[in-house]
Every structure is written in structure tokens, then in C-alpha cells.
């Protein structure tokens, strides 16, 4: 591991004083790796038990990973099935502070690769609207893939600069999360590249960028709504400095007190998670409330699908699953040769780079529909018209893209292992043809 930059050590000495030696020792200790269980997956904890080493106190579904180099959770069947998301323990704090609720409108402004967005989606339980954004299209595609794997049914993924959204959707969201690009000091103990990339000017340069993003975020929060700002860095320039400067520019926002079990109470609406004080890497979280009276509850209800979408839906319900397999209050639309569902009340996204316009339900052909992988991951497996339960060995073969022997009714079949979804197959002539997308097929699955 490269040596810590001398200027960084000097900065931390000024910040921590007598705590500095303990802090520096913590940066040379093994990182606290963790996963976050998916509450949407019945049996997720039992399926993941071989990897788990106790709860993360500040995250409801957070679990530490066993410190065993031989376990490979990311190569396992439960991981492919969306039973959990691999996420550093402290990184779970900001979504916990945001406290998204079912029925809200929520924006994750800097969302890739999706750890916090999938945590928010789980808290919303498929009710309400989650817009997950990342300005980098390649990163936004990875974000969409993680939301799909975890079965999020209420998410729309876009790739836009924050200023483009601020002018387009003013005061639209109940809650906005800004997990800001930062100098990454919190990753120093697990990422040698982060140490090498850090320069003395890094904090000030990042703070300038953070100010621009926060100003855009402020415009997106509705009166009475909340803004959560977080970084994975230690210095006070990007943390308390960025927050205090923001409050100076935006007197309509005020800090809001909070506390996290196992991490402590905020001071002035701000909290540091430090690796020598808890089992986690570095993180900073601030919660800010916008002045004003919240608008009355918004009426719910989806619009009626047009004729073509209604026809495709009727075919899909007949072929694969009933309408009740999806959340209520969804709008249905056809884009190209795909049928999508997205939460009622989704704002206009025309002219934006849309990576995932909603939950992709089916691919449409002449007189036929083929259910999409995203639908298999988002629905309750028990709702499928036909089901195939695989054992772990069969599941690993399935994830390699293999077809399997299968007797029984012909047609689209929801494939599971340990009650967890793996995708769609099509049963015909004693075989279950594999329809797992080629980009998701993997070799060498672990247990």
C-alpha cells in the first residue's frame, strides 16, 4: 500500500489532534467490508448466511462480511439473484439519513454505481418515484443494471448534468440525495489508487464542484423537503466547509438534527463516520431542511394505457404473470419495441438521455410478447404463471446460459433458486430454454 501523503497527515493532525495516531492505525487495518440484504427477496438472509458476520448498526439491512478471503459473495447465486448488494458499511449511512418513504418523489443526483439508489428503492418498497441520475452515461448504465438486479420497480435512470435538471424540475422532489464526487480520502485503506491520486489541492478543487452540484440540488427540493449531502472523505473543506458555505448561499435551508445507531448524533445536522471510532471506512453526512409548507398530498392513480400498450399488457398477463405482480399506480407505454411501466407522476424526461425509462416489462414482436429479465427480477416469483425451482448446481448452470431438462406445461417460466429470481426460461419439448440476457451470463459461479 502506498504511503499516505504528508500533507494529508498534516491536515488530519489539525482536525483530530490526539486522535490522529489511532486514526492512522485504522487506515492501515483491513477494511470493514459489508453487504446490504434486499428486503424484497424472501429468504435473502438465509441464502446469504455463509457470508454474514453480524449487523451494521446504522443500516436496517446492512450486514458485515466475514473476514474470510476464501468467500466470494459477488460470484454467488444469491448475488446474481439480487439477494444482496455489496456495499461498504459506512456508505450505507447517507441513504439511512435520507429516510426515503413509500409514495415519495426522490432524486439520487450522483447515483452510480447504485449502492445508495438500491438502498433508497428498498426503503420505498416500490411505491412512489425514484429518479437515479449520473452524468456519465457508462456509469449510468451500470447503475441501471444494479437497480434491475435488485428488482427496483419504481426507478427511472437518466444521465444528465445537475444544472439541466435544476432548470427542468424546480421544487419537484420530497428528498434529494447528493453523494458528491470528492477527494476520496475515506477509501485510503482499501484503494491504493485513491492514495496516489490525492493532491494537496484536491479538497479545494472538489469543494468548488460540490458547491455547483449542491446549488442545483437546492432548486430541486420542494418547500419543506430535505436534502442530504454526503462524501467519502475526511477533510473539513469538502465536508463542514461545503455545508456551511451552502447554508450561507441558501438561507431557506437549515440543518436538521439526526442520529444513527452505532455512529452517534449529528452536530449542526452533520455527522462524521471515522474508521478509528467504528467498524467502517470514512464517511460524512449532512441533513438539511428547506423552509416552507409541504404541498397537500398528491392524488394518485395512473393514466389509462393507449390501445397498443393495453393489447401488449393483456398478452403479457396471459403469457407470464397477472397484473397484480406489479405495484399499483403505474403508467404503461411502448417505446420502440419495448413495453415499460413507470410510476404515475413521473416528470417529463423528453430531451434527456434516458438510460432506463422505467421497468422494462416485455419485448414486442408481431403478435407476441417476450417477458423481459427486469420483470422477472422485480416481480414476486409466486405470481408467475409457471415456475421452475432450481437447486444450486442447476442454478449455476443456468447462470452460465445453459438450457435444462424440464417436463410440464409449455410456455414462459419464471426460474428461481432458493426462492430467489434468476430470470425467464421457455419450456418446450422437455427442455427449459435459457433466456438470461447474454451480458449477465457468468462462468465459474461460487456457492
For residues 16 and 107, state if they share a domain.
yes
- Say which CATH number the domain at 79 has: 3.40.50.150
- Give me the pLDDT at residue 370, please: 97
- Give me the pLDDT at residue 442, please: 82
Residue 34: alpha-carbon gap to chain centroid:
15
For residues 314 and 333, state if they share a domain.
yes
417 as an active site residue: the answer is no
Would 228 be classed as within a structural domain?
yes
Question: Mean pLDDT of successive 10-residue segments in the chain (447 residues)?
Answer: 91 96 94 94 96 97 94 96 97 98 97 98 96 98 98 98 96 97 92 91 96 98 98 97 98 98 97 96 97 73 86 95 89 96 92 97 94 97 95 97 93 97 96 96 61
For residues 326 and 415, state if they share a domain.
no
Domain that holds residue 347: 302-381
- Give me the pLDDT at residue 445, please: 45
For residues 23 and 77, state if they share a domain.
yes
For residues 376 and 392, state if they share a domain.
no
Last residue of a domain, one of 237, 264, 290: 290
Would 372 be classed as within a structural domain?
yes
Would 296 be classed as within a structural domain?
no
> How confident is the model over 69-91, as pLDDT tens digits?
899 999 999 999 999 999 999 99
- Give me the pLDDT at residue 32, please: 84
Q: Cα separation of 186 and 179, whole Å?
A: 13
Would 297 be classed as within a structural domain?
no
Q: Cα separation of 180 and 209, whole Å?
A: 9
Closest CA to 123 of 107, 108, 101: 101
For residues 35 and 123, state if they share a domain.
yes
For residues 185 and 321, state if they share a domain.
no
For residues 252 and 354, state if they share a domain.
no
Q: Write down the catalytic residue from 110, 232, 321, 417.
A: 232
For residues 283 and 353, state if they share a domain.
no
Question: What residues are paired with 325 via a beta bridge?
Answer: none
Q: How many domains does the chain have?
A: 3
- Say which CATH number the domain at 440 has: 2.30.130.60
* pTM flag (> 0.75): yes
Residue that the C-alpha cell 426460461 belongs to? 425
For residues 394 and 264, state if they share a domain.
no
For residues 61 and 134, state if they share a domain.
yes
For residues 171 and 63, state if they share a domain.
yes
Last residue of a domain, one of 290, 318, 353: 290
* Nine cell digits for residue 296: 397537500
Q: Dihedral of CA 158/287/221/298: which sign? A: positive
Would 37 be classed as within a structural domain?
yes
Last residue of a domain, one of 328, 361, 381: 381
Would 295 be classed as within a structural domain?
no
- Give me the pLDDT at residue 328, please: 86
Q: Cα separation of 87 and 114, whole Å?
A: 10
Amino acid at each position: 500500500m502506498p504511503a499516505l501523503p504528508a500533507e494529508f497527515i498534516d491536515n488530519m493532525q489539525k482536525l483530530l489532534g490526539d486522535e490522529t495516531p489511532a486514526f492512522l492505525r485504522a487506515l492501515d487495518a483491513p477494511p470493514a467490508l459489508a453487504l446490504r440484504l434486499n428486503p424484497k427477496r424472501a429468504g435473502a438472509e438465509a441464502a446469504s448466511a455463509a457470508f454474514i458476520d453480524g449487523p451494521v448498526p446504522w443500516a436496517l439491512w446492512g450486514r458485515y462480511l466475514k473476514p474470510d478471503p476464501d468467500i466470494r459473495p459477488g460470484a454467488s447465486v444469491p448475488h446474481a439473484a439480487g439477494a444482496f448488494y455489496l456495499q461498504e458499511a459506512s456508505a450505507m449511512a447517507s441513504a439511512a439519513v435520507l429516510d426515503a418513504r413509500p409514495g415519495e418523489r426522490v432524486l439520487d443526483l450522483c447515483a452510480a454505481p447504485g449502492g445508495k439508489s438500491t438502498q433508497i428503492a428498498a426503503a420505498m418498497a416500490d411505491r412512489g418515484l425514484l429518479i437515479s441520475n449520473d452524468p456519465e452515461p457508462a456509469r449510468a448504465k451500470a447503475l441501471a443494471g444494479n437497480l434491475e438486479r435488485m428488482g427496483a420497480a419504481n426507478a427511472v435512470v437518466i444521465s444528465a448534468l445537475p444544472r439541466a435538471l435544476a432548470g427542468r424540475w424546480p421544487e419537484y422532489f420530497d428528498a434529494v440525495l447528493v453523494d458528491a464526487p470528492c477527494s476520496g480520502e475515506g477509501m485510503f485503506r482499501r484503494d491504493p489508487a485513491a492514495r496516489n491520486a490525492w493532491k494537496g489541492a484536491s479538497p479545494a478543487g472538489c469543494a468548488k464542484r460540490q458547491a455547483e452540484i449542491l446549488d442545483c440540488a437546492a432548486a430541486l427540493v420542494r418547500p419543506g423537503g430535505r436534502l442530504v449531502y454526503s462524501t467519502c472523505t475526511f477533510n473539513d473543506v469538502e465536508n463542514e466547509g461545503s455545508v456551511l458555505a451552502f447554508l450561507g448561499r441558501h438561507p431557506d435551508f437549515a440543518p436538521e438534527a439526526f442520529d444513527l445507531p452505532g455512529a452517534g448524533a449529528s452536530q449542526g445536522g452533520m455527522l462524521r463516520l471515522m474508521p478509528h471510532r467504528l467498524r467502517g471506512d470514512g464517511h460524512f453526512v449532512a441533513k438539511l431542511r428547506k423552509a416552507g409548507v409541504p404541498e397537500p398530498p398528491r392524488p394518485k392513480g395512473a393514466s389509462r394505457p393507449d390501445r397498443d400498450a393495453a393489447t401488449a399488457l393483456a398478452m403479457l398477463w396471459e403469457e407470464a404473470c397477472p397484473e397484480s405482480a406489479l405495484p399499483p399506480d403505474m403508467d404503461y407505454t411502448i417505446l420502440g419495441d419495448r413495453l415499460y411501466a413507470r410510476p404515475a407522476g413521473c416528470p417529463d424526461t423528453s430531451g434527456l438521455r434516458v438510460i432506463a425509462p422505467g421497468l422494462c416489462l416485455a419485448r414486442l414482436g408481431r403478435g407476441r410478447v417476450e417477458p423481459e429479465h427486469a420483470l422477472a427480477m422485480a416481480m414476486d416469483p409466486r405470481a408467475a404463471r409457471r415456475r421452475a425451482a432450481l437447486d444450486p448446481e442447476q442454478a449455476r448452470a443456468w447462470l452460465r446460459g445453459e438450457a435444462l431438462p424440464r417436463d410440464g406445461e409449455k410456455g414462459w417460466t419464471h426460474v428461481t433458486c432458493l426462492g430467489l429470481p434468476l430470470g425467464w426460461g421457455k419450456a418446450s419439448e422437455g427442455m427449459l430454454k435459457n433466456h438470461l440476457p447474454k451480458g449477465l451470463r457468468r462462468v465459474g459461479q461460487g456457492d
